[in-house]
Chains A and B, each alone.
Chain A
Amino acid sequence: MMRGVWLPLLALAALAIAPLAGFSASYEMTLMARAMILAMAAVSLSFLVGGAGLVSLGHAASVGVGAYAVAILDANGFTDAAQVLPVAIGAAAIFALLTGAIAIRTSGVHFIMITLAFGQMAFFTASSLSAYGGDDGYTLYSRTEVAGARLLENRLAFHYICLGLLAASWAVASMLLASRFGRVLRAARENAQRAEAVGFTPYPYRLVGYGIAGAMAGVAGVLLVNATEFVSPAMLSWQRSGELLFMVILGGVGRLWGAILGALVFVGLETWLAELTPHWKMIFGPLLVVSVIALRGGLAGLVAPRHG
């Protein structure tokens, strides 16, 4: 399991050094922050997909719920992290638990579709929030403050907060998967009948896992809205959910750190291609197709192929 793990560690180390090594221009910092935040969301999705076998096509909604919680609190004058963070995480977790309670009753394709449906509901709810910009989105009055300090406005501090939280979410997700709880999730993913025959009902475990992944995505949402000081319904669109899934697959399902690589490569590729041509999606799309068809184990499969 641990082979190839040097690669994501190397990537995190590179991100830690980058601002000190001259990559501190505004657009570089913005780019890295975006990559790290998306990586965090992708790790939480990878926990669901690779760990629990729950392929959600509505994960961006959890990110969006976290982000909108920040926006709504901001509009009402609450900007302190001690208030914002618990509310945003709680909202994302509750959203995941409520929708998961219904979605997890289904499986396979129906699960994919019903998570998509809930994602769309969240998207349209966001569009209906006319007090918070509706379709046009909402611009924050101020970034979230930490103990009264405008810490997040310091680009360097924000960078390391993102990096720290990314590393933390990787660690937390790994810990969860290795725990008793995670063992039941993994067993039920691979062979639900077996898990049931020894006495485990998968449903509550999956639901709790779904809630946890939602909460982690909520944290990513808090950071994302702080990074751009802006949130709009587009953040919750199903295309965003598709991109998150792509990061997970590109990195390699079944290894949490694959999602980190997937997200970094995704953001890097997107940026690089967009500089090349305005029609970069015409290159990106086929790349996606080819990577799915040719790279079965994802990037992680390249550096650490699995046996059997």
Chain B
Amino acid sequence: MRIGSPKETYAADEALFRTRTQWAWFGVLLAALAGFPFVANLYWLYLVCLVSINVIAVTGLNVLTGYTGQVSLGQAAFMGVGAYTVAWLENHTGSPFPVNLLAGSVVATGVGLIAGLPSLRVKGLYLAIATIAASFILLFIFKNWESVTNGTRGIGIEPPSAFGVALENPDTFYWLVVPVTVVMLLLASNLFRTRIGRAFIAIRDRDISASVLGIDLPRYKLMSFGISAFYAGMAGGLYAYFFGSINPESFPLLMSIFLLAAVIVGGMGSMLGSILGGIFMTLVPELLRYGIDFLGLFMENASAVLSPVRTVVFGLLIVGFLLFEPLGLAEIWRRIRRFFHLWPFRT
């Protein structure tokens, strides 16, 4: 049982890791992440790369939806912007991949700021619908701006190389995507210890009150859209490098719904939630595949129902979590932790 953790300064109270135990666990986590490629096989490394990319996108969406309260169904389209920028730069200028990734994120940020403009006028549900519109318009551009996006045929991208090694397989790509994810997560967590982050939370809790308190709503809302799109752009760039080819079908509206589902399932307004949601939602389809393979022993062409079953399960997860566990997996995690902290007493 843990007995209090007195803090003497505000800085200590705001710190990202408040106790030594937390620092220790963080170290353990980093060590585990560093050691993982040496023990896991390619399949698991592939999954971890995919999870990491999704976690970055989900984190961005969580900043916007979970912390600022602006529902967006355009996250996948912003990922597309990042991915196409990276692909274009890689194929036309041959600049090094860190530059491409950053450029992709910056372009996505710009597009996100434009797409966020309706947020100055409308909010809540109207805004969600405006982002659907923005996402459709972006998809239209992906399909029809042939000279840059190559239309529906899509673009192929060479894998990035660092120190003379081509990062083309999950075992090498891991060393790019996981550190980037860790850095992005730390940045996002730290954001909410600053004035900007607190302004976001104030806007989520009650935007009118926030503006009465002197928070410049348009500025901070747009900033939130920009940050969210930056994360999406980074995730999209990594996605393009990881899969080696992109086309307009890679970033459908369904993917935005998937990302929103991950935010809800993980826990809105919680960094842990972004991580858990990203992991959970990426692994669910894999688990379902095992389940369907198992079912295949008993019924014919069970694999044909995989995709619809996945659609149903995604929907049920969104509905179920909103109905029964609105704070998401992060809350379940907190409950478990509280149990052990307070043991042998009960909450």
Q: Does A pair with B?
A: no
Interface residues of A (CB under 8 A from B): none
